[in-house]
Amino acid sequence: MNIQELIKDIVKKSVQKNMSAGVFPQAIIPDVILEVPPQKEYGDFATNFSMQSARVFHMPPKKIAEELVKQIDSDYLDKIEIAGPGFINFYLKPEIIYKQLADVMEKDNKFGNLPLKNSGKIMVEYVSANPTGPLHVGHGRGAAYGSALVNLLRAAGYYVRSEYYINDAGNQIDNLAASVNARYLELLGKKTEFPENGYHGQDIIDTAKRIINKTGTKYLDMPDKERLCVFKELALQEKLAVLKEDLNAFNVHFDNWFSERTLHPDAVNSACEILLQNKAMYEKEGAKWLRSTQYGDDKDRVVIRDNGVPTYLASDIAYHKNKFDRGFDKLIDIWGADHHGYVCRVKASIKALGFDPDRLDVLLLQMVSLYRNGELVKMSKRTGQSVTLAELIEEVGTDAARYFFIMRSLDSQLDFDLDLAKSESNENPVYYVQYAHARICSIFRQAEEAGIHISEKVDLSLLTDDAEITLIKKILSYPDEIELAARDYAPHRIANYLHDLAADFHSFYNKCRIIGVDLKLGQSRLALAGVVKNTIHHALDILGISSPEKM
């Protein structure tokens, strides 16, 4: 058990003692949240538990804090103080910090992987862009955040699977086929009218060219209907191949790619039948409507049109039912902010199907604005349309793009500074973090040349400088940071933690020499640097970012 868990357990036991004594009423104990105070005089760890529990125990926070402190008696703590309106500050005995650091060293590169939780199966579905064109920077933000969230949840001990929902049914695929067909005929000198709802991107022309390069005029004399069927499959497979290639280059890998087509017609009809039986759906003017107003929507929604063709909502209803039927206990969907109004109707359908709508969490990602030389970048230089993810990777690299996408909360608009992302300076946060890792690797190479190795009986108690203690405390807070970030679906917390850890390391490096000091002290500092290296590496892995050994 790490030091944060020990302190949390101490607080919980104090609460239980107060309940048993009748000081606190019997109640469900809120989570105990620990933070590392910004200034060392406020202790090693602090909690605002008294403020969090004031409504639960119907007592002033300061009174709660006083009663808690009375019941705390621990061999780990040097002292406890109450500050402000009821903050509790914990001061550890120095030997406890060293023992915890020794435990971290034993875990080596497994430090940061929390024990497995018995909390059911989680499905995270993200990106899921229509396979009708290239991924743009907005998709990139969802891809980076989604994949980092999956990594984070797994590190926190959850069972997680990731999935890409392929929208390969419906009008958008018909329009894709018609667009490729029109460009194909144009390239072969045939006059044709471009479809009204067609896709005008350069990628459509490129797809038509590739078809011609591979097959010549093979499909030219084919009846239009047959040619459209062929092009629908050819274009879809090519678009999916490009999507997978772009995502792979962005360190995004899915456990499963789920085809919307597999839901038609059986799964859609089955879901609609259940909704009709539950009187959550009704027929009107030949169409079938979901009674979504009963679940908070502003109006009822069409599920099956009057011509018998399902809407997108019909597929989404069947898809979410399918995920529950596959045994997933919690569903996490990452959608664009423009889908805000869609959340209510999907949750309505989940409840109407007999599932708990709270088992679905929808995260909405806000827009990304690109800036170059202080000016907004609106269009791709290559295509004249939205900047693609592939172009962004080409310009700033995968690591910088992922870090910049992840370092802000998903629900805040992101201003992406292209010049900063490419710069090799301390102002560039990903460079700053990666440089800390590379610097430690360099230290180990220098130590090897100087004949300094980490002793099996390294004396960690020699680490008494303020910079050393600050660094140790930051390392010891990492498991708690993972727990909290996973709980809040907030991988940006790991990005922020990494930057703070790198800053603490750089301060340590500038103040505490490793080579050229007493051998035992040098070994202890080298051991500390090694733990920092492993922690940075582990956190960067969560973010899907590389850990370079040289820069």
* Angle value at C-alpha 307, between 305 and 311, nearest 5 degrees: 30
Instruction: Output the pLDDT for position 382.
Output: 57
- How far apart CA 417 and CA 376 sit, in angstroms, is 9
- How far apart CA 438 and CA 252 sit, in angstroms, is 24
Range 90-104 burial, b when 16+ CB lie within 10 A, else e: bbbeeebbbebbeeb
| Element spanning 101, H or E | helix 94-107
Mean predicted confidence (pLDDT) in 147-159: 98
- How far apart CA 125 and CA 335 sit, in angstroms, is 9
Q: Tell me what percent of the residues of the chain surpass a pLDDT of 70.
A: 99
- pLDDT for residue 317 is more than 60: yes
Pick among 3.20.20.10, 3.40.50.300, 3.30.390.30, 3.30.1360.70: CATH of 3-92? 3.30.1360.70
Q: Per mean pLDDT, which of 170-179, 236-245, 392-401 is the most reliable?
A: 392-401
* Angle value at C-alpha 281, between 276 and 285, nearest 5 degrees: 110
Question: What are the strands of the beta sheet with 360-365, ordered from one edge?
Answer: 256-259, 159-166, 121-125, 330-336, 360-365
Tell me the pLDDT of the chain averaged across its residues.
93
- Residue pLDDT, tens place only, 6-34: 899 999 999 999 999 999 999 998 889 88
Mean predicted confidence (pLDDT) in 266-277: 96
Which residues, 6+ apart, have CB-to-CB distance to 269 below 8 Å? none
The SS3 assignment for 82 reads strand
User: Residue 253: what residue type?
Assistant: H
The SS3 assignment for 295 reads helix
Report CA 340 to chain centroid distance, whole Å.
19
- Residue pLDDT, tens place only, 186-202: 999 998 889 988 898 88
| Element spanning 470, H or E | helix 466-476
Mean predicted confidence (pLDDT) in 310-337: 97
Mean predicted confidence (pLDDT) in 135-147: 96
Beta-strand pair 281-284/45-47 = unpaired
- pLDDT for residue 88 is more than 60: yes
Residue 276's closest CA among 246, 298, 313, 303?
303
SS3 content of the chain, % helix, strand, coil (to 5): 55, 15, 30
Which residues, 6+ apart, have CB-to-CB distance to 309 below 8 Å? none
| Element spanning 256, H or E | strand 256-259
What are the residue ranges of helices labelled H in 188-256?
202-215, 224-249
- pLDDT for residue 300 is more than 90: yes
* Domain covering 428-543, topology: Isoleucyl-tRNA Synthetase; Domain 1 (1.10.730)
- How far apart CA 51 and CA 31 sit, in angstroms, is 12
The SS3 assignment for 87 reads strand
Which residues, 6+ apart, have CB-to-CB distance to 384 below 8 Å? none
- How far apart CA 437 and CA 427 sit, in angstroms, is 16
- Residue pLDDT, tens place only, 428-463: 999 999 999 999 999 999 999 988 888 778 999 999
- How far apart CA 286 and CA 308 sit, in angstroms, is 8
Asked if 529 and 443 count as a contact pair (C-beta separation under 8 A), the reply is: yes
- Residue pLDDT, tens place only, 31-82: 898 888 878 788 888 999 999 999 999 999 999 999 999 999 888 899 999 9
- Residue pLDDT, tens place only, 374-433: 999 987 655 556 899 999 999 999 999 999 999 999 999 999 999 999 999 999 999 999
DSSP strands (E only) in 121-210: 121-125, 159-166
Instruction: Output the pLDDT for position 128.
Output: 95
Instruction: Output the pLDDT for position 1.
Output: 64
Question: At 138, is the pLDDT very low, low, confident or very high (cuts 50, 70, 90)?
Answer: very high
Domain boundaries, the chain: 3-92, 428-543
- pLDDT for residue 140 is more than 90: yes
